[in-house]
Amino acid sequence: MKNQLDIALLDASKKAFPTRFYNDYFVNEFGRLEALISARYGRFFSVLLIYLDDFTELDKQLGRQRMVDLLKRVIKAVIEVVRNCDVVGMVQNRGLIVILPETDYIGSLITVRKLRKAIDALNLHDEASLSVAFSQASFPRDADNYGELVTIAEKRLNDYRGGVYGKIDLEAKLFWENVTTLLNEDFESSQVERFDIGENLELPDSFRGVVAGLVMEEVGRTPQKKGILYLSPGKFSQDMTAKRAVETLGETNTKVFILGGKGMEELASTHVIPINLTDSRFQDTFFLFLLRDDIAYAFIAREAWGGIASCVHMTEPFIITCLIEKLQRDYSLQEQL
């Protein structure tokens, strides 16, 4: 069946890694046991799914042995990235699966990023039209048992393929190209919505500062939550609501970065890190990206005409994770995901 792995092919491939690549029975039993242990001792763990799209069709085109060799390379790359305590294997008709003990949601995103880099480095596109998709779910954030975690990860993969992220191909674009696409496209999605703010509109220009202030307050209200927040205030304003919220922000496990040019040093504090970037586009565009174990939210606003700003806000984690990764890569920022 399309988009499903041939189990016989997986069985052939796993023989190359008898000590680190397991069959679906072992993986399922390990997952159920890990869920019980994590519940008993109050620990995290995560499940990753790795899908090789159009794998069945490629098997027909390239032949069984070439596809076995290709899959062996993918499995080897995955095993080299994950820890010795992580379990890599297969799930019938679902592809590859990785179980990450003592790994929370943010940690699972970090692992996905490392795996994507490792698999991209294989240059599979040079020999086959193969795309790799990732999905994850974490205990206890998403579910309280292993079976439900796998089901949720599968649903997220379907959302990924059918949602805005899968339709506009953000992975192939640079950071500012993605920003422009999100501001200009109309999406039929409850998780991505465009609107305008400005004088004589329902939402005034000050709305962006209100949003930033509310997000900062939420970060300060639950300081124990781990995550990352990027804020680009655009044209710096001494009266900006976000500035007051930043100044009162206490110690938090969420890493907060303020991006922009002149004036950013005034926001420096023990708990907020200003990053001076000379690119003029940071002065023209306000954006805020928050990714935390329990929240994914992004807000972007750019001046359009006549004091009107085009805006988009979203809660789709795939898009927000991609925007953060592109921002970090395009400006050589320290990778936090």
- pLDDT tens column, 4-30: 455 555 555 555 554 688 888 899 999
Whether residue 2 lies inside any domain: the answer is: no
Maximum mean pLDDT: which of 36-40, 251-255, 281-285: 36-40
Contacts of 76 (CB under 8 A, 6+ apart): 16, 17
Neighbouring-strand partners of residue 95: 91
Residue % of the chain over a pLDDT of 90 = 36
Task: Tell me: do 65 and 21 sit in the same domain.
Answer: yes
Task: Tell me: do 144 and 188 sit in the same domain.
Answer: no
* pLDDT tens column, 90-129: 876 557 999 999 999 989 988 998 998 899 898 877 767 6
Asked if residue 239 has pLDDT above 50, the reply is: no
Q: In the predicted model, what is the mean pLDDT of residues 70-75?
A: 86
Q: Which of 296, 312, 293 is nearest to 304 (CA)?
A: 312
Alpha-carbon distance 170 to 84, whole Å? 32
Cβ pair 234, 264 in contact under 8 A: no
Give me the pLDDT at residue 251, please.
86
Structure-derived torsion over alpha carbons of residues 205, 206, 211, 216, reported in degrees to the nearest 10: 140
CATH number at residue 44: 3.30.70.270
Whether residue 62 lies inside any domain: the answer is: yes
DSSP 86-129: SEEEEETTTEEEEEEET--HHHHHHHHHHHHHHHHTT-GGGT--
The sign one gets for the Cα dihedral 319, 154, 20, 62 is negative
Residue % of the chain over a pLDDT of 70 = 84
Task: Tell me: do 193 and 153 sit in the same domain.
Answer: no
Number of domains composing the chain: 2
User: Which residue range(s) make up the domain with 200?
Assistant: 170-330
Whether residue 335 lies inside any domain: the answer is: no
Task: Tell me: do 218 and 312 sit in the same domain.
Answer: yes
Whether residue 337 lies inside any domain: the answer is: no
Alpha-carbon distance 108 to 171, whole Å? 19
Task: Tell me: do 131 and 197 sit in the same domain.
Answer: no
User: Per mean pLDDT, which range of 104-108, 197-201, 250-254, 291-295 is the poorest?
Assistant: 197-201
Asked if residue 264 has pLDDT above 50, the reply is: yes
**294-to-114, 119, 228, 230 alpha-carbon distances in Å:** 22, 28, 12, 16
Residue with tokens 């992004």: 298
Q: In the predicted model, what is the mean pLDDT of residues 299-315?
A: 88
Single residue among 162, 178, 213 that ends a domain in this structure: 162
Side chain identity, residue 205: D
In the DSSP assignment, the letter for residue 267 is G
* pLDDT tens column, 152-187: 999 988 877 777 777 777 888 899 999 999 999 887
- 227-232 and 254-260 as β-strands: parallel, antiparallel, unpaired? parallel
Helix axes 146-162, 24-41, angle to 10 degrees: 110
Give me the pLDDT at residue 1, please.
42
Mean pLDDT of the chain: 83
CATH number at residue 262: 3.30.870
Residue with tokens 């919220």: 245
Q: In the predicted model, what is the mean pLDDT of residues 18-46?
A: 90
Alpha-carbon distance 71 to 62, whole Å? 12
3-state SS assignment for residue 270: coil
Give me the pLDDT at residue 262, please.
61
Q: In the predicted model, what is the mean pLDDT of residues 250-274?
A: 76
Task: Tell me: do 91 and 215 sit in the same domain.
Answer: no
